[in-house]
């Protein structure tokens, strides 16, 4: 008897250390997400989610632009809708393209704590994902396996890159992981909670609604039909909410902000995605991330595993395969960027738990000493974690906030130093200028090149002062598309103001071109000196 007690105490101590490591990984996730977060309503996705949250915080799902409908150029409703928005079913109103799950949470945070609060939502939900991954590993295999999986999720290049931005990839993973953890608990409360977590996940990413069916089938497979009913009780509110919002915004419960699914899914996408996703996973996360998916189930279970543990392995495998399969037919967008692995984030916790269970189980079988499995597993996990962190660093995940800062700088400069009746024709900055300055913007990417002069004339006649807001990288394409139809497309006069490092952004006053062509001097200001523009005569 005296031999068993020290071993039991050592096992408890080892589990306590593993739990502490997982907790530290969750805390580190929040710290990294906040300290290196972009905190910017940037480009399309971040602005789309944040502006939707802002509308919700003010009690609306749509934005009213009927006072702008006196403009008459072709496609006026589309061009006056900022990134992440589109014309709603009702004339003069615009509706968000994005799903409401994340904006609802962000909107609640903003209503309670102010306009900065939405930026903290994703880091906090990221911490939830890390902690729930640890709990998931404990349910399926052991506390040590859960801790290994949690650390590997916290150091995943995909996870780290997305934790820095106010977008929905990490929240979707968080809600689904919480759903899986609660689904493995006994009792009505846990099962209903699992359904409610699935509701939030569906509100966040409706295209993954089939995952709820996977979790529901798992409940039936365990021989408990009552659990399926409890789970459905939690899932139904999310499905009904999505249908109601779609009907409210677009006139049909089956119509989403993205439009028809046929534009995003197709059989021809299968082969390109089969080449890309597996290769990207191997290159960024090492083959370790998928080892548990292809390993015999008996190697993933502890020696005392019960039916519930075996059911957990089956559930995680079915869940992971379903997520991956759902994106094999998704539009690859024609770009060779592993950043699109963010679509697969909901299955990362499940994949990592399976692989961590394999690692810990194999090491345990190779040694009878209690401390060796923990040490060996920690060394191997640390090696993979260091590789993942290296990939994340090289991809610019930890410096993303430096480049994304340009959206804040430009938007705040416009708010502080430019006319209240200014109107900005822009693409990348069309949303952020609206968010930070509440100025009118016209979407350049939705504008017919032949209509630019007409737009400028109508804005001017309505009392607006029109400007162009372009990044240096956008200017060649602008010249190619618009110079044939408009003299403004030549960009042959100095900008009114510009931002320099690390990404150059220029704002052109369209009224300056005539003066410059006639030989008058035009000054260029520096956005870094808000209110005190540095004039450099050209």
Mean residue pLDDT across the chain: 89
Give the pLDDT score at 131.
Answer: 98
Write the burial class of residue 333 (CB in 10 Å: 0-12 exposed, 13-18 middle, 19+ buried): exposed
How far is 369 from 140, CA to CA, in rounded Å?
A: 22
Cross-strand pairs, 425: 442, 468
Beta-sheet strands, E only, within 352-472: 422-426, 440-443, 465-471
HSE, CB side, 13 Å, CA atoms: give it for residue 448. Answer: 8
Q: For residue 308, give both structure tokens.
A: 């519930």
Structure confidence by residue, pLDDT tens digits, 62-117: 999 999 999 999 999 999 999 999 999 888 999 999 999 999 999 999 999 999 99
Bridge partners, 276 (sequence order): none
Q: Please, what is the end-to-end C-alpha distance for the chain in angstroms?
A: 90
The pLDDT of residue 375 is 77
Mean pLDDT of 349-358: 95
- Tokens describing residue 263: 């534009």
- Residues 156, 356, 326: CA angle, nearest 5 degrees: 60
- The tens digit of pLDDT for each residue in 149-183 reads 999 999 999 999 999 999 999 999 999 999 999 99
Instruction: Give the Cα separation of 281 and 344 in Å (integer).
Output: 10
Q: Is the pLDDT of residue 431 over 70?
A: yes
Model confidence band, residue 13 (pLDDT cutoffs 50, 70, 90): confident
Is 52's pLDDT higher than 90?
A: yes
Q: Is the pLDDT of residue 206 over 70?
A: yes
Q: Do 214 and 172 meet the contact criterion of CB atoms below 8 Å apart?
A: no
Alpha helix positions (H), 205-253? 210-221, 225-250
**If pLDDT is split at 50, 70 and 90, which confidence band does 528 have?**
confident
Element (H, E) at 94: strand 93-96
Spans of all domains in the chain:
4-39+116-395, 45-102+402-537
Angle at 364 between CA 360 and CA 365, to 5 degrees: 120
Residue 67 exposed, middle or buried by CB count within 10 Å (0-12, 13-18, 19+):
exposed
| DSSP string computed for 289-356 | HHHGGGS-GGGGS-TT--HHHHHHHHHHHHHHHHHHHHHHTB--TT---GGGGGGGGGGHHHHHHHHH
**Residue 93 phi, psi (nearest 5):** -110, 145
Confidence category of residue 531, pLDDT binned at 50, 70, 90: very low
How far is it, in rounded angstroms, from Cα 93 to Cα 112?
27
Looking up tokens 């480049």, which residue turns up?
A: 403
Q: What is the pLDDT of residues 257-305, one digit of tens each?
A: 776 666 678 888 888 899 899 999 999 999 999 998 888 777 777 655 5
For 297, the token pair is: 């189930």
Average pLDDT estimate for 211-216: 94
Q: What are phi and psi of 402, to 5 degrees?
A: -70, -40
Rounded mean pLDDT, 11-32:
90
Query: Taking 70 as the threshold, does the pLDDT of residue 329 lie above it?
Result: yes
Model confidence at 504: pLDDT above 70: yes
pLDDT at position 530 = 53
Q: How far apart are alpha carbons 441 and 427 in whole angstroms?
A: 9
Q: How far apart are CA 4 and CA 467, in angstroms?
A: 78
> Which of 147, 176, 64 minimizes the C-alpha distance to 382?
147
Predicted confidence (pLDDT) at residue 479 exceeds the cutoff of 90:
yes
């Amino acid at each position: 008897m005296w031999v068993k007690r020290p071993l039991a105490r050592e096992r408890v101590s080892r589990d306590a250390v593993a739990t502490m490591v997982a907790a530290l990984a969750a805390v580190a996730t929040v710290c990294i997400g906040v300290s290196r977060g972009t905190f910017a309503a940037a480009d399309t996705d971040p602005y789309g989610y944040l502006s939707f949250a802002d509308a919700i915080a003010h009690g609306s799902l749509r934005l009213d632009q009927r006072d702008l409908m006196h403009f008459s150029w072709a496609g006026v409703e589309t061009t006056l809708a900022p990134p992440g928005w589109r014309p709603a079913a009702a004339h003069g109103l615009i509706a968000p393209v994005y799903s409401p799950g994340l904006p609802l949470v962000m909107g609640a945070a903003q209503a309670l704590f102010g306009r900065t609060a939405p930026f903290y939502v994703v880091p906090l939900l990221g911490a939830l994902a890390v902690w729930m991954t640890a709990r998931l590993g404990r349910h399926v295999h052991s506390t040590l396996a859960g801790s290994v999986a949690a650390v590997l999720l916290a150091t995943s290049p995909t996870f780290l890159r997305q934790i820095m931005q106010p977008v929905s990839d990490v929240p979707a993973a968080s809600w689904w992981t919480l759903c899986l953890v609660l689904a493995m608990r006994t009792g009505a409360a846990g099962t209903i909670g699992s359904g409610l977590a699935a509701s939030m996940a569906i509100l966040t990413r409706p295209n993954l609604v089939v995952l709820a069916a996977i979790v529901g089938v798992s409940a039936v497979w365990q021989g408990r039909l009552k659990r399926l009913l409890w789970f459905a009780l939690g899932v139904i509110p999310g499905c009904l909410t999505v249908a109601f919002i779609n009907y409210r915004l677009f006139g049909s419960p089956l119509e989403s902000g993205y439009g028809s699914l046929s534009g995003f899914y197709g059989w021809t996408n299968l082969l390109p995605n089969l080449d890309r996703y597996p290769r990207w996973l191997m290159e960024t996360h090492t083959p370790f991330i998928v080892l548990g998916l292809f390993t015999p189930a008996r190697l993933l279970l502890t020696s005392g595993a019960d039916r519930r543990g075996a059911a957990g392995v089956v559930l995680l495998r079915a869940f992971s395969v379903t997520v991956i399969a759902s994106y094999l037919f998704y539009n690859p967008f024609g770009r060779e960027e592993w950043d699109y692995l963010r679509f697969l984030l909901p299955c990362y916790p499940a994949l990592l738990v399976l692989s961590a269970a394999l690692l810990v189980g194999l090491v345990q079988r190779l040694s009878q000493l209690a401390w060796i499995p923990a040490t060996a597993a920690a060394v191997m996990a640390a090696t993979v974690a260091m590789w993942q962190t290296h990939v994340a660093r090289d991809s610019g995940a930890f410096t993303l906030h430096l480049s994304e800062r340009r959206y804040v700088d430009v938007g705040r400069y416009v708010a502080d130093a430019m006319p209240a009746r200014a109107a900005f024709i822009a693409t990348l900055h069309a949303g952020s200028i609206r968010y930070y300055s509440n100025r009118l913007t016209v979407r350049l990417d939705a504008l017919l090149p032949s209509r630019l002069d007409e737009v400028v004339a109508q804005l001017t006649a309505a009392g607006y002062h029109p400007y162009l807001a372009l990044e240096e990288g956008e200017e060649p394409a602008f010249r190619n598309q618009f110079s044939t139809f408009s003299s403004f497309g030549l960009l042959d006069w100095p900008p009114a103001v510009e931002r320099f490092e690390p990404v150059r952004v220029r704002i052109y006053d369209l009224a300056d071109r005539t003066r410059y062509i006639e030989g008058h001097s035009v000054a260029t200001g520096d956005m870094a000196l808000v209110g005190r523009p540095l004039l450099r005569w050209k």
